[in-house]
Structure 1
Amino acid sequence: MQDSACIVPVCISSWVVFGGSPVSAFSLCTCPSNRGAALATALTLALALIVPAALEPADAAVARRIKREAPAKADARPQIPAGQLHIMISIRSQTVTVYSDGVVAARSRVSTGMKGFPTPTGVFSVIQKNRHHRSNIYSGAPMPFMQRLTWSGIALHQGALPGYPASHGCIRLNQDFAQTLWKRTRLGARVVVTQQEAEPYPFTHPKLFMPKAVRLSEARPELRGTLRTAQADTTANDAERLTIPDGLTLPDYPPVADVTADIRQAILDEDPNAKKPARPSGPVSVFISRKDRKLYVRQGFTPLFETLVNIRDDDQPFGTHVFSAIEAPDSNVKWIAVSLPVDVPKPKLVRPAPSRKLGRKAARAAEPAKAEPVPAPVTPEAGAVLSRIDIPQDAIARIEALLGPGASLIVADAGLGWETGKGTDFIVLTR
């Protein structure tokens, strides 16, 4: 039997929006044999077009999220020259900048702590390095090229860079940067973490330490000329021989060997194989705390001594400043400084007073809270801060006897915090 003529054709068209205007994607027509078939065909075709259209926004959102969370493209392998390193981390810009002797050497992107797991800000140093490291907190998660900053778990290491803070507090670096930095740093390398970007700058001040040899060479010539080796005016050869008068008896002293026997036995009693504590080595670190009114000294992560200091206008803040000694000609050192910027506080929300008639909720709905601007704090000038501190001369002499390239002085309002301990340099937390 031949097919009957098409009485009710069913056509479905698809339109998409492109550049703000509707554009026909395709049209489809069919000729069913009866009205029931026509309705079924129309519903089938409509579903075929509606379902993909309904799914498209979700797929697009997923695609955008995947694109946004894709690891950032690795920077070219950085070249970091020799010198005293400052590794500067900015949380706000999600960047790391490495300075060598105060000059920019490399820059890259990072990923710091997400909400709920913030990366602490302040002054740190590398206290441990491990090429293949796994987290003992987060189920053995790999942390290649790990450089530890605190024993509580904050470190620099290789990781994914989605373009926003995504770690649990650590500072993630891309692969090339993490490898190069790991090879260039030594224990004690300075790391500074701030919200805003900070950078080292050349700095001089009469109260900064200088090597002992340099200070002696700067003594006045007229004083140097008066120094001479001490000489005895009378020697043993000039003394008259002792004569003993007849009838005088001397005490019966024991032989010399017997007198020294106890000393010899004491020497033998000491264990010659006993392990003597190693003397500290490496650059010397000094920390002056306004809160404690003290100066602390460490060398090679080992405490050496501490002493009280005099602070004028001790009710005025110091801020946080790091002074680092770098190599200079003639066995001298020159200093560079980093002044940590003071974070600008968030605007204070001022809510309207509740009305007895309207009630608290109604008052808030009628008049929303207003942001009251807070004056931005001013970072104290480093030179003015040093001028307010008086250090005992004997402490200065002991520090300058150990001074050399790599030495550092930290001046801060904070006290000796809980992160500073065995096997660390001074760790100063600002948040």
Structure 2
Amino acid sequence: MSRIAAFGLALISSCMLAGTAVAENARTLQIIVSKDKQSLAVYDGDKVVATSKVSTGKQGHDTPTGIFSILDKRKYHESNIYSNAPMPWMQRLTWSGIALHESGSVPNYPASHGCVRLPAAFAQSLYGQTERGVHVIITDAPVTPVLLHDGRLFSPKRPVPPNLMSDVPLRADNFARTTRQLEVAMNMAPSSPLPTAPKKTEATVPEAAPLRILITRRQEREQVADVQEMLNELGFDAGSHDGFAGPMTRSAIEGFKRWKGLKVKGFLTEEFMTSLYAASGRQKAPAGQLMIRQGFKPILSVPVGIKDPETALGTHLFTATDFDRTEGTARWQALTLPNRLPEAMMKRLGITNSDAGFTTAEPAAQQAFDRIEISAELRDRIETMLTSGSSITINDQGVGQDTGEGTDFITLTRSSPERIEATTVSSKPQRADKPARKVRAVPLGVGLY
């Protein structure tokens, strides 16, 4: 049975008996939740294969917007925050407490404690169609994916032996959350180990886990890692190149400043950075950073250029569909999400123009990707690793706070001030289904229910 037919039988009406057949290929599925419409749409490529009503977070327990993926699945789960409230067919989106799950109360207005509630039959059938890693996009107003019809994005190439890629400049991306946050967010370990790429054989090329590519602006962490590397090369012991400015790194920075007669005050000042690059014989790093995760694990982090870096890139998600490694072709679809950057963040990132000035000639996502300067060597290596369902996220703000061990890249978006003031979505009373009790705060201020 085709995926569309399976969804048609099981998901079109949330009152019908839910099907349990696994989708033929869940890699290219996307789940898009609109908080304004209190609705959910399942896309297979650019086609809607199922829809449902939902209930998102009520006032004070708002469901965050952004780009997520399914991290964990459980047929039955109980909330360890809200009085062991049952959460059948739970599909977790963050370790800090956001999930899709069945509920007996799915009114036409926000009513949850932050999760996305689904009708019973729909929740069960959707559970059977997805797999870990499927993207879930939560927005205020509905968004629709568009197909990109040119070849400027990545195309798959046949893989090369691993030793030919051994010189890829890898840098560990240790965005782990604290143990305590994980204890608060969940009361049991994931039901299955993280997916790993299958072993290669000479006869076939097994399909590895999809790549999760994030292209963003370089943050202080990447700058600190560069500083550590250059200081170590110059004989100042800055410790490992982990991007964290601990005592050894700060001592090495102070030592370099004394050597060059620079002002000691300030951390990564322009004067210090210019002097350090000159002393190490390197060119100043470009404005962007490209990072890759696969199977929820970081595997690569390299600098890339951004044309017109003073102008915002926007927030976009690309997904590879119709993937054919033999023919070397892949079709990409894209989503653009509204995202308001705080003024302080724009100042820190050097953004002076928040309006990207996208034209109507082609999709905004394509225009944003065209501003990224990727070397031929890096492109070739990415296309060698590319797999079906791989995705690219472009944003300005960097790695989201919920990105950590066992996650893909999570991007949180912000509403405009006008929308924040207008989030009293319904005139109906916003009642609590479970009495709230005092608990330790978790990120985003929400819990599983």
Normalising by the residue count of structure 1, what TM-score does the alignment of the two structures yield? 0.58
Match of 2:384 in 1: 401
Inter-partner Cα distance in structure 2 for 1:403 and 1:92: 35
Shift of residue 404, structure 1, vs aligned partner:
2.1
Match of 2:294 in 1: 299
Match of 1:188 in 2: 133
Give the SS at the match of 1:325: strand
Residue 176 of structure 1 is aligned with which of 112, 121, 132? 121
Give the SS at the match of 2:43: strand
RCO higher in 1 or 2 (8 Å CA, sep ≥ 6)? 2
Match of 2:374 in 1: 391
Specify the code of the residue in structure 1 equivalent to 2:211. Answer: V
Match of 1:288 in 2: 215
Specify the code of the residue in structure 1 equivalent to 2:337. Answer: L
Residue 100 of structure 2 is aligned with which of 156, 166, 186? 156
Give the SS at the match of 1:212: coil
**1:30-429 mapped onto 2 (5 Å cutoff):** 74-76=14-16, 82-83=24-25, 84-159=28-103, 160-213=105-158, 281-290=208-217, 292=219, 293-328=288-323, 330=327, 332-342=329-339, 380=358, 381-429=364-412
- Is the contact made by 2:311 and 2:355 (CA closer than 8 Å) also made in structure 1? no
Shift of residue 279, structure 1, vs aligned partner:
5.6
Shift of residue 107, structure 1, vs aligned partner:
0.6
Q: Which protein shows a greater Rg? A: 1
Inter-partner Cα distance in structure 2 for 1:382 and 1:108: 27
- Is the contact made by 2:55 and 2:118 (CA closer than 8 Å) also made in structure 1? yes
Match of 1:430 in 2: 413
Give the SS at the match of 2:154: coil
Q: Structure 2 unaligned runs (5+)?
A: 1-12, 160-194, 199-207, 220-287, 343-353, 359-363, 415-449
Specify the code of the residue in structure 2 equivalent to 1:337. Answer: A
C-alpha spacing 1:97/1:75, structure 2 compared with 1 (3 Å)? farther
Superimposed CA distance per residue, residues 27-77 of structure 1 (whole angstroms, 9 cap, x where no aligned partner) = xxxxxxxxxxxxxxxxxxxxxxxxxxxxxxxxxxxxxxxxxxxxxx94445
Superimposed CA distance per residue, residues 279-327 of structure 1 (whole angstroms, 9 cap, x where no aligned partner) = 6841111000135321000111010010011001111111111110012
Using the aligned pairs only, state the percent identity.
Answer: 42
C-alpha spacing 1:331/1:179, structure 2 compared with 1 (3 Å)? farther
Superimposed CA distance per residue, residues 167-206 of structure 1 (whole angstroms, 9 cap, x where no aligned partner) = 0110000011100110000110011000000011111344
Superimposed CA distance per residue, residues 320-375 of structure 1 (whole angstroms, 9 cap, x where no aligned partner) = 11110012454521111111135799xxxxxxxxxxxxxxxxxxxxxxxxxxxxxx
- Is the contact made by 1:205 and 1:383 (CA closer than 8 Å) also made in structure 2? no
Shift of residue 393, structure 1, vs aligned partner:
2.9
Inter-partner Cα distance in structure 1 for 2:145 and 2:210: 19
Inter-partner Cα distance in structure 2 for 1:278 and 1:102: 28
Q: Structure 1 unaligned runs (5+)?
A: 1-72, 215-276, 346-375
Inter-partner Cα distance in structure 1 for 2:56 and 2:73: 19
Inter-partner Cα distance in structure 2 for 1:157 and 1:120: 16
Inter-partner Cα distance in structure 2 for 1:128 and 1:176: 20
C-alpha spacing 1:417/1:326, structure 2 compared with 1 (3 Å)? same
- Is the contact made by 2:35 and 2:140 (CA closer than 8 Å) also made in structure 1? yes
Moved over 6 A (4+): 78-81, 376-379
Structure richer in strand, relative to its length = 1
